[in-house]
Amino acid sequence: MLFQHFPGVLLGVDHQGLIRCTNPQAMSCLALSDQLLLEKSPEVIAAQGEAPVFARAIRDCISQGSAWQGLVTCRTGGGGMCQMSVVVQPFYDAGLACLVMLHDISEVFSQVLAERYLHENNETPENISTREDIESYVARIPGIVFRLRQAHEGALSFDYLGPGFEEQTLLCADEVRKDADVLLNRMSEEQRLKLSIELAQSGSTMSPWRLEMCIDSGSSLCWFEARGVPQHVADGAVAWDGLLLDITERKLHESQIEKLVSTDALTGVMNRRAFHDAAEAAAAQAMRHGQHVVLAMLDLDHFKALNDCYGHAAGDKVLQSFSETCRMSLRPYDLIARIGGEEFVVMLVDVQLVDAREILERLRSNVESMTMQVGDRALRVTVSMGAIWLDEAEELEMAMLRVDRALYEAKHAGRNCLRGLSRGGWLDQDEISASGHEGDGSHIREYRFVDTFSGSARLAIDEPSNSLHELPEGPCLPTPCPNCGQRQLRAPTTGTPDAWVYCGACRAFVCRYHEAADYPS
């Protein structure tokens, strides 16, 4: 009985997930015969790209008894497509595990229009039995039925907005009907643009469209899945019959799952996988805008000993406090991730190079002064850090290798310190010192970096622009070094009288260019 008279397509699915029975509407609505459907999985009727969601809904229904409602673009026997509202529900009878109920939303829409006609004219169209029938039919359809019309000049208006719109969107249906912008203005710029692209494509190819959109009701954010089927209407304009389905709960669930898989459970910071994606995106964006990006690797010192002495639970507590200190010491848009047991990475985006050193130093010192109470003891830890700034177009994997070497240097140098790496080699922190040179009233400060990796020297000038100037590998000056007498003085080829001159023998900046070279005074 139920199968014969159900006002839509019904598929009975067994415990293996295969269709066991259908109703006559499968043929009349989808033009699919029993031969094509029986013993197949229900997702065979779903259009490409839609099948996985549909298959999962059926799997979950069979294994967990959970029901599902959604919209699926289905293939019809004639080679066409249609938008079906789908309900998957457990059904333990006659060897079945669940029922799949499908309603064609265009069909629903014509029923809705018929209902309106019925209401306005107080007449009964031939194909409709009673208003109660239609109302109960429409009530079974999940979502808000609409007809959206686009006039020739592109203006959008709603011919029809079904019941439930006001409760779900908290917007006044009458106002939205008069002016679609009342609804569209609640969407982000990006989603409005997506919608207009979908509508333009759908209007020109007369194919269905589908979009997930977020509507800001003022007091909350609601997610909807919208689908529309186009048709030409009387005045030659295009109208879409469609459904808005509230998917807020699903979106919330998805974002919780996303958070779970991207977050380190112990510390709440990002895990390695999430960091990789976020760091690549952040670095690419910063590079596009000409901003500096600094990557640092942090490793707690003697953590094994701490675990051995005070127990794993105390170690866990230290990791949590350490993460919290990182969060508090950095800006909200800097990235922090735990990539191993007691190993973390930090990415500072849009940072001036000299500031980066100060930020990381402050973090190191905050960790040093942090105390954690374990029983009657106050524990202290220290952290070693390696830091590099990212080169343009450098792969993140390569940068991770470089920063790992910088961290190794920090451990090697006695721990609880920061070591950096220039483009060519190590920046030995002990050698980094502000020379106090203030230019002539300008804000130029000079830093000395001795590159112990390659043995050559670099001169970094902290100008207001924070740009880094490397000492070119120019020829030796003929003058001997005022310190050691060796002839190994080098100066920038663009050397101004006040530029620093580096002695390869002393491995230090020893004098100004005009003091060393035959500079015309």
Residues that bind ligand GTP in the complex, under the rule CB under 6 A? 266, 299-305, 307, 312, 315-316, 319, 341-342, 411, 415
Of the two residues 266 and 476, which places its CB atom closer to ligand GTP in the complex? Answer: 266
Radius of gyration of the chain (CA): 34
Please give the Cα distance from 111 to 17 (Å, whole number): 32
Measured from the CB atom, the residue of 3 and 408 that comes closer to ligand GTP is 408
Q: Minimum distance between the CB of residue 383 and ligand GTP, rounded to whole angstroms?
A: 9
Nearer Cβ to ligand GTP, position 225 or 264? 264
State both tokens at 349.
């985006």
Judged by beta carbon, residue 311 or residue 439, the one nearer ligand GTP is 311
Nearer to ligand GTP (CB atom), residue 17 or residue 315? 315
Helix, strand, coil distribution of the chain in percent, nearest 5: 35, 30, 35
**Residue given tokens 């679609």 in the structure block:** 180
In the complex, minimum distance from the CB of residue 306 to ligand GTP, in angstroms, rounded to a whole number: 8
Exposed/middle/buried for residue 215 (C-beta within 10 Å: 0-12, 13-18, 19+):
buried
d(CA 83, CA 71): 7
Is the Cβ of residue 373 or residue 467 nearer to ligand GTP in the bound state?
A: 373
Nearer CB in complex with ligand GTP: 312/380: 312
The residues near 233 (Cβ < 8 Å, ≥ 6 apart) are 149, 239
* 275's tokens: 């960091």
Handedness of CA 341, 343, 346, 347 (dihedral sign): negative
What is the number of alpha carbons within 13 Å of residue 272 lying toward its C-beta?
8
The smaller minimum CB distance to ligand GTP, of residues 5 and 304, is found at 304
Provide the token pair at 283.
């670095």
Question: Torsion-angle region of residue 372: left (phi > 0), alpha (psi -120 to 50) or beta?
Answer: beta
Name the DSSP class of 66.
-
Does residue 229 contact residue 146 with C-beta atoms inside 8 Å?
no
**Min. distance of Cβ 338 from ligand GTP in angstroms?**
9
**Least distance from ligand GTP to the Cβ atom of residue 344, Å:** 12
CB of 311 to ligand GTP, least distance (A): 8
Instruction: Please name the helix (run of DSSP H) or strand (run of DSSP E) that holds residue 410, with its range, or none.
Output: helix 396-412
- Least distance between ligand GTP and beta carbon 472 (Å): 38
Least Å from the CB of residue 304 to ligand GTP: 3
* 120 sits in which H/E element: helix 105-121
Least gap, CB of 324 to ligand GTP (angstroms) = 15
Residue 333: how many other CB atoms lie within 10 Å: 10
Kindly state the smallest distance separating residue 319's Cβ from ligand GTP, in Å: 6
